[in-house]
Amino acid sequence: MLKSNKTLGIIFFPAFDWAISPTHPERQERLLYTQDQLREEGLFDIEGVGEYKPDVAAVEDVERVHFCFPEVAAVATRSHLISAGGAMKAADLVMEGERDCAFAMVRPPGHHAMKVVHGSRGFCTINIEAVMIEHIREKYGRKRIAIVDTDCHHGDGTQDVYWHDPDTLFISLHQDGRTLYPGTGFPRELGGPNAMGRTINIPLPPNTSDEGFLMAVERIVLPILEDFKPDLVINSAGQDNHFTDPITNMNFSAQGYAAMNDMLKPDIAVLEGGYSIQGALPYINLGICLAMAGVDYSHVREPNYNAERIRQDARTTAYIEELCKQLPALYFDPPEFVPKDDSRVGVISGNTFIRHKQIYYDTDGINEVQQESVTLCKQCRGLYKVETRADSGPLCLGVEIPIDACPECRARGYQMVEDAQIKGTYRYIQLINRLDKEYARYGF
């Protein structure tokens, strides 16, 4: 029997009872073909590779991360909770030493779900990576964590969740937002004033192939990871950069995905996008599993692969080479945060950073307006507050006391919630207190 160099845990959850529509790209077949492929290739016959069932995330696991309005049950189904629970199971396998690494092949995906949730956007409702990461911090203590998002679409939700968190490094490689949903993920997006340089975006031009992706990983991602020295590396493993994917414009291959994973060496991978259900996903997932287990993946090849046909042109290579020269400085020597009059970018009033956002939930057709504010505290990462309204619905309030909260920010957080209850301005109020592990709702 073939033996892996690293023990690998695999968690499957195809979500048979959840799909946007029977013919939508985000449906259960995304994982059923992969399951068949992995069994046919004998992956589970390799010593050190094991399959596990997902856990089910509790409401509190979601509320540790998100402000869900009016409540978690109104926006998320049991399938969403099991998908997040599958990611949490992967984390527990690694953190408790049962497996060296783990791959959560679960759906629905999550990386477009932002800090505030009123519904679904980009096929995502709750951010399963963020739920997993905050589960790790709650159960196993504070950790420095790096997320490398390799989905073709910019992980705007994960970026939003960790915009103000200096302990989380978020790196996203994606198709340039000028050419693809969600239209974000540009180099100037570097994080909030308390976490400048902890967000790094690498927008790649359409038709980037293996050469460009692996160049960006080698010259930008790996040096940054080496300097950041994370306790854990998480791969938000979107697979829609493949040359056969029906909704994107990239030329990555299954072999390239495996090589990229081999370079990143993530502790945990969590499936995100990827909609070439038969022609790509089974082969990409197989290659990633073999790479994570430290087994030879050179034989993995998808149908219709033709290296010459998908090779990137010289202009694309030159463009990516220039990105590789310029982008590392945004992490190693980030510019000082400069507030602007445009409140969408962010302004500073006294000791408070304020930003206005308009968010469209394309899956559910919801328009949201919100104002977020963060205390610029010298003792901790600052008290977080968000006022939000979806369409013509009620005004809602979210307050988060950070995990490293100083006594003053903690007291101000409780005072803010108490004042809101007395004034009656908000229909729903949610408190996230990471310091004392208290998660409360008011207004029901």
Q: Which pLDDT tens digit goes with each residue over 199-258?
A: 999 999 999 999 999 999 999 999 999 999 999 999 999 999 999 999 999 999 999 999
Q: Note the pLDDT of residue 21.
A: 64
Q: What is the mean pLDDT of residues 344-351?
A: 82
Which of the residue ranges 18-32, 293-307, 337-351, 374-388 would you say has the lowest mean pLDDT?
Answer: 18-32
- Give the pLDDT band of residue 112 (cuts 50, 70, 90): very high
List the strands of the sheet with 145-149, edge to edge. 47-52, 3-13, 101-106, 268-271, 232-237, 145-149, 168-175, 199-204
Q: What is the mean pLDDT of residues 110-124?
A: 96
Average pLDDT, the chain: 93
Angle between helices 29-40 and 281-293 (to 10 degrees): 50
* Alpha-carbon distances of 423 from 243, 402, 417, rounded to whole Å: 55, 24, 10
The answer to whether 66 is a known catalytic residue is: no
Active-site residue, from 66, 80, 111, 112 = 112
Model confidence at 186: pLDDT above 60: yes
For the chain, where do the domains classified as CATH 3.40.800.20 start and end? 3-332
Q: Note the pLDDT of residue 1.
A: 66
Span 10-38, pLDDT tens digits: 999 876 566 666 666 665 677 788 888 88
Model confidence at 343: pLDDT above 60: no
Place of tokens 């791969």: 235
Q: Note the pLDDT of residue 2.
A: 83
Q: What is the mean pLDDT of residues 418-427?
A: 94
Q: Note the pLDDT of residue 27.
A: 59
C-alpha 353/C-alpha 387 separation (Å) is 14
C-alpha 7/C-alpha 17 separation (Å) is 31
In this structure, the number of other CB atoms found within 10 A of the CB of residue 414 comes to: 14
Q: Note the pLDDT of residue 279.
A: 86
Q: What is the mean pLDDT of residues 336-352?
A: 76
Helix (H, G, I), strand (E, B) or coil at 156: helix
Helix (H, G, I), strand (E, B) or coil at 335: coil
> How would you classify the pairing of strands 268-271 and 232-237?
parallel
Q: How large a percentage of the chain has pLDDT more than 70?
A: 95
Q: What is the mean pLDDT of residues 348-376?
A: 94
- Give the pLDDT band of residue 111 (cuts 50, 70, 90): very high
Span 141-179, pLDDT tens digits: 999 999 999 999 999 999 999 999 999 999 999 999 999
Q: What is the mean pLDDT of residues 280-295?
A: 95
Span 294-303, pLDDT tens digits: 999 999 999 9
Helix (H, G, I), strand (E, B) or coil at 241: coil
Q: Quick check: bond before 203 cis, omega within 30?
A: no
> How would you classify the pairing of strands 428-433 and 396-401?
parallel
What long-range pairs does 179-182 form, CB within 8 A, spacing at least 24? 179/205, 179/206, 179/249, 180/152, 180/153, 180/206, 180/248, 180/249, 181/122, 181/153, 181/362, 182/112, 182/121, 182/122, 182/153, 182/154, 182/156
Model confidence at 63: pLDDT above 80: yes
Domain 3-332 has CATH 3.40.800.20: yes
C-alpha 208/C-alpha 242 separation (Å) is 10
Place of tokens 């004392």: 436
- Give the pLDDT band of residue 412 (cuts 50, 70, 90): very high
In this structure, the number of other CB atoms found within 10 A of the CB of residue 295 comes to: 18
